[in-house]
Amino acid sequence: MRNVKLILLAIIILINSFVTTACWNYREVENLAIVAGAAVDKGEKARYKLTVEIVKIAAGNDAITESKLMSAEGDTIFDCARNAISVSGKRLYWSHNKILIISKEIAEKGVIEMIDWFNRDSETRANVHLAISTENTAEDIFKGKEVIQSIKAFEMEEMLKNEDALSKAPRTEVWEFANNMAEEGIYGCAAAVKLQKMDGGEKTPAVGGTAIFRGDKLIGIVGEEETKDILFAQDNIKGGLLVETVKGKDKDREIPISFEIFKSKTKIEPVFNKNQVKMNVDIETTVTLAELGGCKDFIGKKGREELVKLSETILKERVEKTIKKIQQEYGTDVFGFGKRIYENHYKEWQKIKDNWDENFKNLQVNVKTKIIIKNSAMLSKPLEVRKN
Amino acid sequence: MRKEVITDKEAICILIIFTIGSTLILGIGGDAKNDRWISGVIGLVLAIPFLLIYARIQTIFQGRDIFDILIILLGKIGGRFVAVIYVWYAFHLGAMVIRNFGEFVNVVVMPETPMFVLMVTIGAVAIMAVKLGIEVIGRTCAYLLPILVVIIIIVQFLGISEMKANHLKPFFSSTITSILDGAFSSFAFPFAESVVFLGVFFTLKTKKSPYRVYFYGVFLAGLLIIAITIRNILILGPLGTSLYFPSHVAVSRISIGEFLQRIEVSVAFVFGVAALIKISICLFVTAKGVAKVCNLNDYRSVVIQLGLLMVYFAQFIYKDIMTMSDWAFKIYPFYALPFQAILPVFIWIMAEIKKNKITAKKQIA
């Protein structure tokens, strides 16, 4: 009896292991079209044209990855993605998507249509980087030539990730942008991408600059240096260089100097005075003197003090200038000044939130800068040129 | 039949896993935005008097379950009538948790698999667990809880790099009503759901145990839930309120050096275990109740039927996930109020009166 039971059990287990071990809807790797990056343009026949960069995995001893472009049109992003089946015969697989590039033309009308699907669908990931193309179309970016990696979208992701050491473009993920759209007292921004000429006339995708939004609508793009100032005012500087030129001993010869930023902290404190609000922006940056292109001694005690003072004024002036420019030209609070008030001074915010956009344009911002030079790298003196 | 006994430690473990159950994945607090955790704390405090009442009822009638107690207090017919109400509550709660599990797996991982398959699978495991008895469930919990807690704590620390402290500020930015609303909702789901354990803790050994178990259990679970809520707010910010499964998304953001990422499966694991235990406990209480009401010798004879019914019920209980989340946060607190608060208070008052009579009778005799 016991044996019969055992045998029966064994048979049941055996049959089950054949019959029930399978996936309901399994998909093999070679049947997937893995999306690395996506670009959205205005469509010719339908509302949107979606161009995706697909990773082709060639089987073999070494896995070789190749990039391939493919586009499809549709009335929504998901529609485009599904219509791509008729082009490739394979379903797009979105989990490895790294970047979403949107053309200027449609970003100006609002990007909510593009980013909703990335936040909502369970296959797409919400930590896709958001970027705006400064070229005519977003698709153009993918038509550039890659430099190091074979996949352009992965390359651009690396660029964005390494912005920490450059600070010339903000790094915004789709979910973060969605948060900024909803939060009070801040407008989102995204990185700008463009094509850059290389030797030999070929163009390659490059990241740099900030796309400025109002709500979900693109209203302008500012350059790389101004981006750094914006990042200073947002307290988002993680590294990068601070480059300036100062006058040396010879009146006609300027000395270029680069500081490498190691730590930067920006304190943003609103000051309330009756019905007026003022913003105090205190930037404290720890740098090393990484390059000193001249003979003047800026390292000794006296020279150092002079250099610090000079650099502080230069930094202060450029940040102030950029803030003023944003206030006057765009009038959108990309710095999140309003958000600071909302978070730390909730009661006052209730009074001013309704016309914050107007207030922001005329907001008085006091920038204070403090630069701490912690070392001058390996050299303790400037290089010398023998006189005679 | 041998009397089943669980130790205090096992009971605490069951209660903790039961309480974090589906809350872990659905979150608490409803509309209170970034003050959801405050709602959680208030909800936990609100639950204290009721925990005292549950524990007191259990102490007065040590070794008897809620259905026995009702029959003693209200007589054979009245007692059975109220007992049926509690059977319904446990049955409904179990079905809701099965459905939560089904929806979660369906939305997040397997959108094309019929939900019924998923629900039958977890239902079958729960049926097996209940057939094996409460002692087995207790020992399983004592074994699993440390694993779950370690996973939760590790994930909590891994998430630090994604957290932004300013998402918590400003405190009390949502209106008082929405905070209290959230508190009420988190009182009903999950803290006061521990009323179901009146049908389980007759297995405790000593008279003091119920107090100890209820307090340690619900408080530790409350701490875990509040810690998870704060983590979710810190990682997700304003977007968190519009997610069905905030924990899952919050953990999916964690990415440490390109190497340690996509660890959201840990949430699914913890939720799977916790849902299983919660369903098992509900099924156990339902079966126990049906057996008592119908005068059966052993509850085990009705477990399979009730378990399958529970799964079927879960299938048509909600139309879609929108109804589910509406129900869980808006309607459920009011629906559960009689079971969680009103009836227990009545039972407790009657128990205190009856207890004196019983002791008086004894003295006369």
pLDDT (tens digit, 9 = 90+) per residue, B296-320? 988 899 999 999 999 999 998 888 8
Distance of residue B55 Cα from the nearest chain A Cα, in angstroms: 42
What are the backbone dihedrals phi and psi of residue A210, each rounded to the nearest 5 degrees, phi first? -120, 130
> Residue B25's domain is classified under what CATH number?
1.10.4160.10
Does A45 share its domain with A154? yes
Pairwise CA distance, residues A190 & B74, whole Å: 68
Does A147 share its domain with A289? no
Pairwise CA distance, residues A305 & A309, whole Å: 6
Instruction: Kindly give, in sequence order, each residue whose CB lies less than 8 Å from that of residue A120, ignoring residues fewer than 6 positions away.
Output: none
**Which amino acid would we find at residue A99?**
I
Does A214 share its domain with A317? no
Does A125 share its domain with A268? no
With a cut of 70, say whether residue A267 has pLDDT above it.
yes
Distance of residue B203 Cα from the nearest chain A Cα, in angstroms: 34
> What's the pLDDT score for residue A327?
92
Contact A24 B112 (CB under 8 A): yes
Mean pLDDT of A332-351: 89
Q: Which of A343, A345, A348, A350 to mutate to test the interface with B (most CBs of B within 10 A)?
A: A343
Longest CA–CA span in chain A (Å) reads 112
Average pLDDT of chain B?
A: 89
Does A54 share its domain with A174? yes
Residue B3 lies in a domain: no
Does A200 share its domain with A233? no
Residue A15 lies in a domain: no
With a cut of 80, say whether residue A57 has pLDDT above it.
no
With a cut of 60, say whether residue B177 has pLDDT above it.
yes
Confidence of residue A248 (pLDDT cuts 50, 70, 90): confident
Does A234 share its domain with A187? no
**Domains identified in chain A, total number:** 2
Pairwise CA distance, residues B105 & B111, whole Å: 8
**Number of Cβ atoms within 10 Å of the Cβ of A220:** 15
Token pair listed for A176 = 């973060």
Does A212 share its domain with A236? no
Distance of residue B107 Cα from the nearest chain A Cα, in angstroms: 7
The pLDDT tens digits of the residues spanning B134-154 come to 999 999 999 999 999 999 999
Q: Which residues of B touch A126 (CB under 8 A)?
A: 249, 253
> What's the pLDDT score for residue A108?
92
Mean pLDDT of B100-119: 88
> What's the pLDDT score for residue B363?
63
Mean pLDDT of B243-247: 88
State which of A168, A201, A222 marks the end of a domain: A222
Residue B2 lies in a domain: no
Distances (CA, A) of A170 to A119, A187, B239: 20, 13, 20
With a cut of 90, say whether residue B13 has pLDDT above it.
yes
Does A206 share its domain with A234? no
With a cut of 60, say whether residue B37 has pLDDT above it.
yes
Distances (CA, A) of B134 to B102, B149, B274: 24, 22, 15
Residues of B with CB under 8 A from a CB of A: 107-113, 117, 166, 169-170, 172-173, 236-239, 249, 252-253, 255
Confidence of residue B4 (pLDDT cuts 50, 70, 90): confident
The pLDDT tens digits of the residues spanning A146-158 come to 888 888 888 888 8
Q: Are B40 and B225 in contact (CB under 8 A)?
A: yes
Does A231 share its domain with A205? no
Q: Which residues of A touch B258 (CB under 8 A)?
A: none
Cα B273 to chain centroid, rounded: 13
> What's the pLDDT score for residue A388?
72
State which of A222, A239, A262 marks the end of a domain: A222
Confidence of residue B113 (pLDDT cuts 50, 70, 90): confident
Instruction: Kindly give, in sequence order, each residue whose CB lies less than 8 Å from that of residue B349, ignoring residues fewer than 6 positions away.
Output: none
Pick the range with the lowest mean pLDDT from A2-6, A23-27, A349-353, B13-17. Answer: A23-27
Distances (CA, A) of B220 to B58, B191, B214, B276, B286: 21, 11, 10, 19, 26
With a cut of 80, say whether residue B365 has pLDDT above it.
no
Confidence of residue B273 (pLDDT cuts 50, 70, 90): very high
Q: Which domain holds residue B294?
A: 8-364
With a cut of 60, say whether residue B327 has pLDDT above it.
yes
Burial of B365 (0-12, 13-18, 19+ CB in 10 A): exposed
Pairwise CA distance, residues B67 & A78, whole Å: 54
Residue A23 lies in a domain: no
Name the residue among A94, A129, A127 with its Cα closest to residue B236. A127
Residue B54 lies in a domain: yes
Contact B107 A178 (CB under 8 A): no
> What's the pLDDT score for residue B2?
63
Mean pLDDT of A362-366: 90
Residue B181 lies in a domain: yes
Distances (CA, A) of A381 to A288, A293, A386, B20, B257: 14, 12, 14, 64, 38
> What's the pLDDT score for residue A61?
66
Q: Which ipTM was obtained for this model?
A: 0.81
> What's the pLDDT score for residue A1?
74
Q: Which of A21, A91, A122, A161 to mutate to test the interface with B (most CBs of B within 10 A)?
A: A122
Residue A124 lies in a domain: yes
Does A232 share its domain with A355? yes
Contact A183 B109 (CB under 8 A): no
Confidence of residue A163 (pLDDT cuts 50, 70, 90): confident
Name the residue among B102, B159, B144 with its Cα closest to residue B315. B102
The pLDDT tens digits of the residues spanning A66-97 come to 888 989 999 999 999 999 888 888 888 888 89
Distances (CA, A) of A91 to A26, A116, A164: 12, 20, 35
> What's the pLDDT score for residue B226?
93
Residue A137 lies in a domain: yes
> Residue A240's domain is classified under what CATH number?
3.30.300.210
Residue B1 lies in a domain: no
Confidence of residue A32 (pLDDT cuts 50, 70, 90): confident
Pairwise CA distance, residues B114 & A343, whole Å: 45
Mean pLDDT of B335-352: 91
Does A181 share its domain with A297? no
Percent of chain B with pLDDT over 70: 97
**Domains identified in chain B, total number:** 1
> What's the pLDDT score for residue A313?
92
Q: Which of B166, B176, B254, B259 to mutate to test the interface with A (most CBs of A within 10 A)?
A: B166
Q: Which domain holds residue A75?
A: 31-222
Contact B113 A126 (CB under 8 A): no
Percent of chain A with pLDDT over 90: 35
